[in-house]
C-alpha cells in the first residue's frame, strides 16, 4: 500500500447505508396514514354524518340521497369537497305547496384554512341540475293560525 492511498472504510459503502431501512419505515408510515385516512373518510361514515345533519333541518322536511363521499381532487387539481349525489328534499306541508327539491349533485367545498382557524368549513354550495316542484296549491295558512 502506498502512502498516498487511504484505507477504504466499510461505512462509506453504498450497501452499508440505512437507505433501505428508511424506505421500509416510510412505506409503513404511509400505509398506516393512508388506511387511517381512508377509514375516517369512508362513504358510510360521511353518509351517516350528512344524514345526522339533514335531520336537524326541519321536522317537516324529509331528506334523502344516494351517496355521499369526500372528494380530494377536481380533475388534476387538489380540491377537498363533500359530494352528495341524487339528493332529494320533500315536504308534505300544504302551506309550503308540498315542495319537492331534486338535485343531481351537490358539492360542498371544504376550506382547510377555515378548519384550522375554527371558522366555517363550508362557505359555498355548488349544485348541478336542480329541480324544484311545487306539488300543491297556494293556501293562506296565516288565516288558519289566527283562527286557532
Q: In a structure prediction context, what are the per-residue pLDDT tens digits for the chain, which is 148 residues long?
A: 555 666 666 666 666 667 778 888 999 999 999 888 888 888 888 888 888 988 888 888 899 999 999 888 888 888 889 999 999 999 888 788 888 999 999 999 988 888 788 888 888 999 999 999 888 787 777 665 555 5
The C-alpha cell that represents 57 in the structure block: 333541518
Q: What element of type H or E holds 28?
A: helix 19-40
**pLDDT for the residue 12:** 63
Cβ-Cβ contacts under 8 Å for 118 (sequence gap 6 or more): none
**pLDDT for the residue 27:** 93
**pLDDT for the residue 1:** 53
| Closest C-alpha to 68, from 42, 97, 88 | 42
**pLDDT for the residue 6:** 65
Is the CB of residue 42 less than 8 Å from the CB of residue 50? no
**pLDDT for the residue 73:** 85
| Closest C-alpha to 107, from 88, 132, 128, 90 | 128
Instruction: Count CA atoms within 13 Å of residue 98 on its CB side.
Output: 5
**pLDDT for the residue 41:** 82
Alpha carbon distance 22, 71 (integer Å): 31
The C-alpha cell that represents 79 in the structure block: 380540491
Amino acid at each position: 500500500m502506498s502512502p498516498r492511498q487511504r484505507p477504504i472504510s466499510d461505512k462509506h459503502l453504498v450497501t452499508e447505508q440505512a437507505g433501505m431501512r428508511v424506505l421500509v419505515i416510510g412505506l409503513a408510515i404511509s400505509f398506516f396514514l393512508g388506511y387511517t385516512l381512508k377509514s375516517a373518510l369512508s362513504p358510510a361514515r360521511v353518509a351517516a354524518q350528512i344524514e345526522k345533519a339533514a335531520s336537524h333541518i326541519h321536522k317537516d322536511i324529509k331528506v334523502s340521497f344516494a351517496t355521499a363521499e369526500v372528494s380530494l381532487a377536481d380533475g388534476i387539481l387538489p380540491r377537498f369537497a363533500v359530494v352528495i349525489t341524487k339528493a332529494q328534499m320533500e315536504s308534505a306541508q300544504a302551506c309550503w305547496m308540498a315542495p319537492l327539491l331534486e338535485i343531481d349533485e351537490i358539492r360542498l367545498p371544504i376550506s382547510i384554512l377555515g378548519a384550522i382557524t375554527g371558522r366555517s368549513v363550508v362557505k359555498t354550495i355548488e349544485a348541478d341540475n336542480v329541480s324544484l316542484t311545487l306539488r300543491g296549491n297556494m293556501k293562506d295558512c296565516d288565516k288558519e293560525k289566527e283562527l286557532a
